[in-house]
Amino acid sequence: MIDPAEFLLSLAEIAVALAGFSGLIVAIRATGPHGWHPRDIWSLSWMIGASLGTLFLALLPLWLAGLGFAPAAAYRASAAAASVYCVVFLVLMASIGRGLRLRGYPRRIPFFPTAMMTLLGTVLAAVGTTAAGLVPASRLHGVYTGGLIALLVISSLALGVFLVLLARVVKKRGGESGVTMNPGNGPDPADEQAARGG
């Protein structure tokens, strides 16, 4: 059985990795010919918010334990902080999503936003019941970390949105301009630039 502190640190490491993917997405989208779509920024906000939220909320019980909190008190205090975070995040993302719809930017992939909102509501229920003392002490770690895992799934779904949209763009460009993965279609511009020393 894994130590609870090690498990929390593992969740924090996964959150850092997912946050790093958001930087990669920013770099890829910034070089695109059409720039950022307002829904891209909304999806990126989901990814960054969920992964950084997981990072800080995974480390919070460890920090509180270092301050002398008993394990149960550390989890309940962390769950209270997580509840506030989830409420703010849920209200913010729902209001931004609604504003985008009203401005004429509908959901491009309907399943993902619904799943992310549902999961965030599930996280809020888990951490809310933990903060309220409705979870027995023997289950605190499991319920709290279950909420953090759901936050990581939210971040992964946001990454999935970008991957689906990227696949659509590649498929569309492949049909219009003959772009394929076949290396026999001519030199790669990146290889040409490297050969010139650029």
DSSP 97-164: HHHHHHTT---SSTHHHHHHHHHHHHHHHHHHHHHTT-S-GGGHHHHHHHHHHHHHHHHHHHHHHHHH
pLDDT of residue 197: 47
Return phi, psi of residue 189, to 5°.
Answer: -55, -35
- Going by C-beta distance under 8 Å and a sequence separation of 6 or more, which residues neighbour residue 29? 35, 36, 40
Burial of 18 (0-12, 13-18, 19+ CB in 10 A): buried
CB 183 within 8 A of CB 45: no
State the pLDDT at residue 194.
41
| pTM for this entry | 0.79
CA pair distance 66, 44, nearest whole angstrom: 33
| pLDDT value of position 117 | 93
Report the length, in residues, of the chain.
198
Residues of the chain with pLDDT under 70: 1, 26-35, 175-198
Q: Are 127 and 144 in contact (CB under 8 A)?
A: yes
pLDDT the model gives residue 3:
87
Position 111 scores a pLDDT of 85
What pLDDT is recorded for position 178?
A: 47
The H or E element spanning position 173 is helix 140-177
Q: What is the pLDDT of residue 31?
A: 53
Would you state the pLDDT for residue 20?
81
CA torsion 33-38-44-46 (nearest 10°) is -160
